[in-house]
Amino acid sequence: MQKLILDLDTGVDDALAISYALGSPEVDLIGITGTYGNVLLDQGVRNALAITDLMGHPEVKVYKGLPHSSTADSFEVLPVSAFIHGENGIGDAVIPDSNREPESEPAVDFIIDAVKTYGKDLTYVPTGPMTNIAAALKKAPEIKDEIGKIVLMGGALTVCGNVNAWEEANISQDPDAANELFRSGAPVTMVGLDVTLQTLLTYKETARWRNLGTQAGTFLADMTDFYIKAYETTSPHLGGCGLHDPLAVGVAVDPTLVTCLPINMQVETEGPTRGRTIGDNTRLNDPHKTMQVAIGVDVPRFLDEFMTRITRLAEQ
Ligand code: BDR
Ligand code: CA
């Protein structure tokens, strides 16, 4: 089984990513590491504990990561995040709090230990700011050669950003950390807005979860309907909500879901376009390719996998 770590700022699509991983028989989710972004670190950790409980997997351990980027002293949730993900990050859906606590080991140490234990069998999937993995690479640079693969949700190469014309939200929260990861030489696949805005979910699919009549199904439907409603306001042309974070899990499990461009990538860390993935075109033809960027996705096959796995999990 594939050993997987999810690094989450547990908002709505992060919660769907947890469900996708738990519903995938090929995956052994060995831990969730918390980050900040859609919500504050502590709220995201609480959400991850509560969701793993609700989905019938209280054995999944949750670790606290760093509360803000290395260039800031603190972090505040953007008003737009509360509009898209709800005040509590999970579409203001109400689920029982977990009576578990996060592990005492810091997330950064857990990531390093997991690489040492599982090596090439380990896949790490960050779907929030890349702060934790950048700190792990700083503390133990050798893990870049030891880890199996890193499949991140973030960035935009062929399309505009979602924070502004050039910045995607996860990269925007900590461009320096993302750039350190991109330049580290670790085996990285970027699953950005290029593909995640093609994989859309609608009320038709959430109704299937609601009709299951289970607590998990009702939660998934309530939470995701909130998210779809926000997308109707912010991006009415799309006709659904983007399955950003679940697609990164999908690609981690089955890389054939996407077609990739090998490229020498970088994040702009200076100037007016700070946070942009690939700041200029001089690297496009660079023979030294540093990572894979997903630029095409088999939408019907992914949506089928997504619905099958999550519905199977939620019907129990
Ligand atoms: C990313 O930003 C967050 O709001 C989502 O959870 C996703 O990880 C999309 O840009
Ligand atoms: Ca996220």
- Yes or no: say if 47 and 10 are a contact pair by the CB < 8 Å rule: yes
Kindly report each contact of residues 161-167 with a partner whose C-beta sits within 8 Å and lies 24 or more positions away, as own/partner: 161/193, 161/275, 161/276, 162/193, 163/275, 166/273, 166/275, 166/276, 167/274, 167/275, 167/276
CB hemisphere CA count around 157 (13 angstroms): 23
Q: In this predicted complex, what is the ipTM? A: 0.99
Distance 287 CA to ligand 1 centre (A): 31
Q: Catalogue the E-assigned strands of 13-166.
A: 27-34, 62-64, 122-126, 149-153
pLDDT by 10s per residue, the chain, length 316? 999 999 999 999 999 999 999 999 999 999 999 999 999 999 999 999 999 999 999 999 999 999 999 999 999 999 999 999 999 999 999 999 999 999 999 999 999 999 999 999 999 999 999 999 999 999 999 999 999 999 999 999 999 999 999 999 999 999 999 999 999 999 999 999 999 999 999 999 999 999 999 999 999 999 999 999 999 999 999 999 999 999 999 999 999 999 999 999 999 999 999 999 998 888 888 999 999 999 999 999 999 999 999 999 999 8
Task: Tell me whether residue 114 is exposed, middle or buried, using C-beta atoms within 10 angstroms of its C-beta: 0 to 12, 13 to 18, 19 or more.
Answer: buried
- Point out the ligand nearest to the CA of residue 36: 2
Distance, CA 127 to ligand 1 centroid (Å)? Answer: 7
Which residue of the set 9, 174, 194, 298 is catalytic?
9
What does the alpha-carbon distance between residue 297 and residue 280 come to, in Å, rounded to a whole number? 25
Q: Is this prediction's pTM over 0.90?
A: yes
Report CA(119)–ligand 1 centroid distance (Å). 28
From atom 2 of ligand 1, which residue's Cα is the shortest distance away? Answer: 169
Of 36, 77, 244, the one to substitute when testing ligand 1's pocket (max ligand atoms within 8 A of C-beta) is 244
With beta carbons less than 8 A apart as the criterion, state whether 236 and 185 touch. no
